[in-house]
Every structure is written in C-alpha cells, then in structure tokens.
C-alpha cells in the first residue's frame, strides 16, 4: 500500500488506478522499505507502454541501497554497591546521510531503548539524527537499537567489573519484570521473559567460563572468552497508530480464501498468518488458499518492518478468522463449542444439538465469490510520548539474552566465534522452525556487524571488499525459545525478526573483552584494529 500510494503520487493518479502485486523476496532487512525504485519503474512503463524491470548490478546496489546508521553514542550508567542500577544518561547521534530517510524514526526509537532491558529509576536519554553528505541510512533490521545495545551492554560489563560481580548476575538483578515501569513511564503488564532467558543461559554460562579458563591456562598465542548480551525491542511503530486489516472468505466451492495483505520479505508470514487464521476458523490449513499482498484484493496490513507483522497482522488474522467462524455459526444456528468441516461445497457444522449441513451453492456470493466473509482489524494500544518522553510507545516488547564464546589469535587480531546460545522470549512460537531460522539469520548478521561488515563510501562496491559471514564463519548455534505469552498477541505471540540480531554484537564484544582485556568501542572489530588495541593494552600495563 505504501508503494501504491507513492506510485500514485509520482504519476499524479488516483490510488485506485494503481495495482501492486509483490513477488517473493528473500530478505528485506530494511532495504525494501526504500520506495525510490517502484515509482521509477512505473513511470518508465507508463511512458513506454511496455513491461519494465529494474535490475541492479552489485556496484549499483552497493551504491544506491540504504546503510545502517553510523552512530556515536556516549553513555553513563550508575549502580549501588549491590549492583542495582540507579541512573542512566545516554546521548546518541546518528548520521542519516543526504536525506532524512529513516533518521527521525531511529532518533525516536533509540532513546526508548537506550537503557537496555533493565529497570532504571532515573533516566535521561537523547537521540539525534543529522543530515550529511554521506550515503543515505536506513532502518536495516533494528532502527538503531543494535547500535544502542552495544553501548548499554558495555555499560553493564563496566559496572560488573567495577563491582566485582558476575556479568550474568548483574543483568539478572536488573532485568525488567512484569509490574515494573520503563523509562517512558510505561508499566509492563505481562510478557517480560528476560529473567527466564537469562536463567536458561546460567548453567551454560558457568560451563563456558570454566572451559575458557582451562583453555587459556595452557594456550600460548590464542585466548578464549565468553560474553553475554541482553536486549529488548518494542514491537511495531514507535508511539504511532499501527493498524493491520485482514480478510478471509468462504466460497461457494467450499474453498476458504485468506486475503493476506502482508508483504513477505523472507520472514515467513505466508505460512504463519495462514496458521493463525486457520486455527481461529477451526478448519485445517489444507482447506485454504492464499492471496498475498494484492492491493486490489487484500486489505492494508501495514508495512513489513519493526518486527510488527507476527504481532499486529497476526492478531488481525486471528480476529478475521474468529469473525468468519462467528458468521458461519450464525448461518448454521450453532453454538460454541462447535466443529467445522468441509466436504466439497457442503459445510458441516456440529455442536451439542447435532450436525447441520449447509449447501454453499445455494447461497449468494459477493463480488469476490464468497458467501461468508470475516474481517479483522488490530491497532496496538499505544500513546504518543509527551515533551518529557512519557507515554506508551509500544504495546509489547521482545526480550532476549545471548551468550557468545570466541577464540582470539593475539598475534593476528583475528576472532573466531565458536558458539552462540540464544534465548529469546517470543511470546509464543507460532512456527518454531521459522523462529529458529530468524534467530540463526540474526546471529549471522550480528556477527557481520561485530567483526567484518564495513562500508566505505566510494570504495566498497562488491562482496570481495565488503565482507559478510560465510558458512565457514558461522558458530555452533543453540536456540532456546522462551514463551512468556503476550495477552494481546495471536495465541500469545510477539515477534523475533529484529530482536534476533540485536544481542549478538554485544555478546561477541564482551567475549573479546573477556579473552583479551580490550574494551572495544568501535565496530567492526577488524583484525588490524584489535591487534593494535592488544598491543596498546600490553604496553600500558
């Protein structure tokens, strides 16, 4: 729908004259939020009267696509002698490039998250984005929160070191819990699974520390370290209306059509939304066909960003399914609990009073061929932030704790990530396999952010100079799904798309610090930078 409205604006046409039908996309990560290409393709097709495609070469893609916001973050955290946080002051400056792009959104989201997933009674946070003559920056899987997480997790490691506390213990002591308030004054009512995430790591954490100590006692040129990173992430837009609408209909032929307006950019909404709506209707997924993201046929489900689709569109899908089920029961004069089944064009409805069979061919269809239809709409309950930053920016939050084990070559400055254990509170895992896939992908991207991905304007134009993790760089990954259910979500679900990435870099940086003593303040930690820091640390000690 964003594409449709932007194309209509550029071509000076009414939106009803534009139809957008998306194709399958392997992964968006913020890049597909850029609306610059679609209107140009439409304009070329309009002028030539021919089908038009736009294909970037790799150098063109590297040049034109948005980048993660470069950030400079200054932070100060304080704690009492028991390790309980007392105050946090964070000032985050973001380079949004030559256009505002997603700069205002990043600058708004980061101050909310800057304290990390911890209870802090006194907070002053600020986010700013500046226009520069550098490449345009975008959301890129996290809207600035990955950058902020590196800062707040470094603060937690600093405090643990000063106080002589275990790094996992200090995080657990300060972890947000249900009933506590955030820096924006929002009381968290439910689904705060960070303590459970940390507890899931506890035994593995101790075993990893012992193993690293044993290895380091005999190793000459290499050192092993263990780090931990925690995160929270507000699901959906920040303090803004964020609705999604879904439609599902039963046709005269006995086929249920799910009109799914989500743009699936690799996160798997094609499957999960269908799971949700089928469960709500009470029919098997095999009874459904899906129409995906067609602006002439589907309702507006909102954009696929901010990890919102599972929570927001999932709830809209659940409500649409329930609405269809309610209408079917009314049609059959049946009551809950009832079972539904389809045999061709015959709908069987069974409740305590017996079975009714409805011949669907006798019913009048609507313009879409449906004889019964359900619609659902969900807009998460949020409020704008006032001049003091107080309000309810998000209806729910994802939480996670990740542990990383690394091996550092002290002579070369190279880092090998050996293992990552990732515990994520997802509310409810609607599709555990897809959730695990999201976590694996997030860890891969987080590893790249921490250790190798660096874009140099005017120089980086290929995947030889711009390194990304390959299969040889990937660690052993263990995922632990924590299901602290969210009452507002579909079946209790929240989201995991962006949260999967956020705790990985700070966990890796903490492990490097544990192995070498180097307090990393810049990413990526390229070998020459780490080697120089190791040498400098040796010379100063």
Catalytic residues: 498
Give the strand pairing for 85-97 and 122-131: parallel
Give the count of beta carbons closer than 10 Å to the beta carbon of residue 24. Answer: 9
Please state, in angstroms and rounded to a whole number, the distance separating the CA atoms of residues 103 and 345.
53
Ramachandran region, residue 11 (left: φ > 0; alpha: ψ -120 to 50; beta: rest): alpha
Please state, in angstroms and rounded to a whole number, the distance separating the CA atoms of residues 135 and 65.
9
**Structure token digits, residue 488:** 């507002």
State in Å, rounded, how far the first CA of the chain is from the last one: 59
Q: Got the DSSP string for 355-377?
A: EEEEEGGGSPP-TTSEEEEEEEE
- To 5 degrees, how large is the angle CA 339–CA 342–CA 343? 135
- Cβ atoms of residues 171 and 399 within 8 Å: no
Burial of residue 221 (CB within 10 Å: 0-12, 13-18, 19+) is exposed
Please state, in angstroms and rounded to a whole number, the distance separating the CA atoms of residues 317 and 489.
11
Provide the sign of the torsion angle of the four alpha carbons 520, 142, 388, 170, taken in this order: negative
- Cβ atoms of residues 265 and 28 within 8 Å: yes
Give the strand pairing for 397-409 and 222-234: antiparallel
Give the count of beta carbons closer than 10 Å to the beta carbon of residue 376. Answer: 24
Please state, in angstroms and rounded to a whole number, the distance separating the CA atoms of residues 361 and 358.
9
């Amino acid at each position: 729908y964003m594409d449709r409205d932007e194309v209509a604006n550029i071509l000076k046409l009414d939106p009803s004259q534009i139809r957008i039908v998306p194709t399958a996309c392997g992964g968006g990560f913020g890049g597909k939020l850029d609306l610059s290409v679609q209107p140009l393709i439409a304009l070329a097709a309009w002028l030539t009267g021919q089908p038009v495609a736009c294909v970037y070469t790799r150098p063109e893609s590297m040049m034109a696509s948005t980048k993660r916001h470069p950030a400079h973050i200054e932070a100060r955290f304080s704690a009492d002698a028991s390790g309980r946080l007392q105050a946090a002051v964070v000032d985050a400056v973001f380079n949004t490039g030559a256009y505002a792009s997603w700069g205002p959104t990043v600058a708004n989201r980061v101050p909310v998250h800057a304290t990390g997933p911890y209870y802090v009674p006194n907070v002053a946070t600020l986010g700013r984005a500046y226009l520069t003559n550098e490449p345009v920056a975008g959301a890129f899987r996290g809207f600035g929160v990955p950058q902020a997480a590196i800062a707040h997790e470094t603060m937690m490691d600093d405090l643990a070191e000063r106080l002589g506390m275990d790094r996992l213990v200090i995080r657990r002591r300060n972890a947000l819990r249900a009933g506590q308030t955030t820096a924006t004054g929002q009381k968290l009512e439910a689904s705060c699974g960070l303590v459970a995430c940390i507890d899931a790591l506890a035994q593995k954490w101790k075993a990893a520390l012992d193993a690293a100590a044993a290895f380091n006692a005999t190793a000459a040129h290499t050192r092993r370290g263990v780090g931990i990173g925690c995160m929270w992430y507000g699901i959906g837009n920040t303090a803004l209306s964020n609705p999604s609408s879904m439609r599902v209909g039963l046709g005269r032929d006995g086929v249920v059509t799910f009109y799914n307006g989500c743009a699936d950019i690799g996160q798997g909404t094609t499957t999960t939304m269908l799971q949700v709506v089928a469960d709500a209707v009470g029919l098997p997924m095999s009874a459904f066909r899906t129409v995906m993201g067609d602006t002439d046929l589907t309702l507006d489900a909102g954009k696929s960003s901010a990890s919102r689709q599972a929570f927001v569109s999932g709830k809209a899908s659940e409500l649409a399914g329930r609405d269809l089920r309610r209408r079917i029961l009314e049609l059959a004069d049946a009551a809950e609990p009832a079972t539904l089944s389809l045999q061709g064009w015959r709908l069987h409805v069974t409740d305590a009073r017996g079975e009714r069979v409805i011949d669907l061919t006798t019913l009048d269809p609507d313009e879409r061929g449906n004889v019964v239809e359900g619609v659902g709409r969900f807009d998460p309950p949020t409020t704008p932030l006032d001049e003091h930053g107080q309000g309810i920016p998000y209806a729910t939050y994802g939480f996670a704790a990740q542990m990383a084990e690394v091996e550092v070559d002290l002579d070369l400055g190279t880092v090998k990530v050996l293992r990552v254990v990732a515990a994520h509170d997802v509310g409810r895992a609607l599709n555990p396999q897809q959730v695990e896939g999201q976590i694996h992908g997030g860890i891969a991207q987080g590893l790249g952010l921490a250790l190798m991905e660096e874009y140099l304007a005017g120089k980086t134009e290929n995947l030889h100079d711009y390194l990304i993790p390959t299969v040889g760089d990937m660690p052993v990954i263990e995922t632990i799904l924590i299901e602290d259910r969210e009452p507002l979500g579909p079946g209790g679900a929240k989201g995991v798309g962006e949260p999967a990435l956020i705790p990985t870099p700070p966990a890796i940086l903490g492990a490097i610090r544990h192995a070498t003593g180097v307090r990393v303040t810049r990413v990526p930690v390229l070998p020459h930078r780490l080697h120089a820091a190791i040498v400098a640390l040796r010379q100063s000690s």
